[in-house]
Amino acid sequence: AGKTGGTTGGYVTIMTGSSTVTSSGGLTIGTADAGAVGPGPGGISGMITMSTGAATATGPSGAMYFGTGTSVGGRGGDMSMLIGTGNTGSGGSFTLAAGETTAASGTGGGITVTTGSSTKTSSGNLVMQTADAGTVVPGSVAGGVSGLIILSTGDATQASSDSGSIWIGSGVSAGGKDG
């Protein structure tokens, strides 16, 4: 896109084709498969980087939004973020981290996970669990151990500060049984 020394730089819009009868066109962004022969164990498939630019003055850096469209007569679209499967070594990791701040009066970025609401029936469930352990561990007669779940607040590094709290509770019912 175009560069400017004045106000806002040029925009880039990628839009698939619409349809007045059936589905709109899909959009695929991907890297090609890696080669099987190369130095060492072989090639690595290409990386995809999606990032906003840094803010070099007093303004915030750009936001990033991922979302599916709203449906008028059907259900909302799903969204999946999956790590690829491997057959050597450990599985790929997934990290979700909020932003850090060095400002004296600011707090670090928060993370909110909220299930979908319903104006007619039940809200969505929230499930956090580790996968089942494998049955065979090389060099051992025992099977694997299912993954660990840690729910913890950070340490308070100054003597006058309190560490964070953990609160687990169920909602209040207006006319039925509380959870």
The Cα–Cα gap between 147 and 151 comes to 13
Query: What does pLDDT average to over the chain?
Result: 86
Sequence-separated (6 or more) residues with CB below 8 Å from residue 20: none
Residue 41: what pLDDT?
A: 67
Q: Is the pLDDT of residue 25 over 90?
A: yes
The Cα–Cα gap between 153 and 165 comes to 7
* Nearest Cα to Cα of residue 42 among 33, 51, 50: 33
Residue 3: what pLDDT?
A: 73
The Cα–Cα gap between 28 and 141 comes to 45
The Cα–Cα gap between 140 and 134 comes to 12
Cα end-to-end distance, the chain, whole Å? 53
Q: Are the CB atoms for 114 and 123 separated by under 8 Å? A: no
The Cα–Cα gap between 23 and 71 comes to 13
Among 8-12, 40-44, 159-163, where is mean pLDDT lowest?
A: 40-44
Q: Is the pLDDT of residue 1 over 90?
A: no
pLDDT band at 136 (very low <50, low <70, confident <90, very high): confident
Share of the chain above pLDDT 70, in %: 94
Sequence-separated (6 or more) residues with CB below 8 Å from residue 128: 149
Residue 106: what pLDDT?
A: 87
DSSP state of 117: P
The Cα–Cα gap between 115 and 127 comes to 10
